[in-house]
Amino acid sequence: MAIKLVLNGTPRSLDADPAMPLLWALRDLAGLTGTRFGCGVAQCGACTVHLDGQPVRACLTPLGAAQGASVTTIEGLSADGNHPLQRAWVELGVPQCGYCQAGQLMSAAALLARNPHPNDEAIDAAMSGNLCRCGTYPRIRAAIKKAAGETP
């Protein structure tokens, strides 16, 4: 079955079972490998993408849920890697191993879209579903504040 969606701003049609996890459709059918598989049970946040602007875990979201919707992956956050969060991530040296960072960035982008100047509590709440085995949480918080125009 063809699932029609807008993927990173471009209308697309993905021919697959609507029950296929969105993660696999993005990686295997659309060739967008920035979204990562982490746990497969929506607990780590590595697979976070935006579905109509809301952060979702692509590992458990069925492709059919994207029918007629807009999906944004890390590749669609900024065409040139110049999103304020991406710049702050680089400037503050947020990533260590980097595996979780696409999901971290997508959760942070959803936070800033709904709350342009979050405090520490709002950041912690929004990011609580994203795990980082390297423990870069203080740098993640500082980068979100920097991107929001606040001093880290």
Burial of 120 (0-12, 13-18, 19+ CB in 10 A): exposed
How much is the mean pLDDT over the chain? 96
CATH of 2-76, one of 3.10.20.30, 1.10.3720.10, 3.40.50.920, 3.30.70.3000: 3.10.20.30
Let me know if domain 84-147 sits in CATH 1.10.150.120. Answer: yes
CATH topology match: 2-76 vs 84-147: no
**pLDDT tens digits, 104-133:** 999 999 999 999 999 999 999 999 999 999
Q: Are strands 48-51 and 10-15 parallel, antiparallel or unpaired?
A: unpaired
pLDDT score at 1 = 87
Q: Is 36 helix (H, G, I), strand (E, B) or coil?
A: coil
Beta bridge partners of 54: 51
Q: Which of 21, 145, 18 is nearest to 92 (CA)?
A: 145
> Domain ranges in the chain?
2-76, 84-147
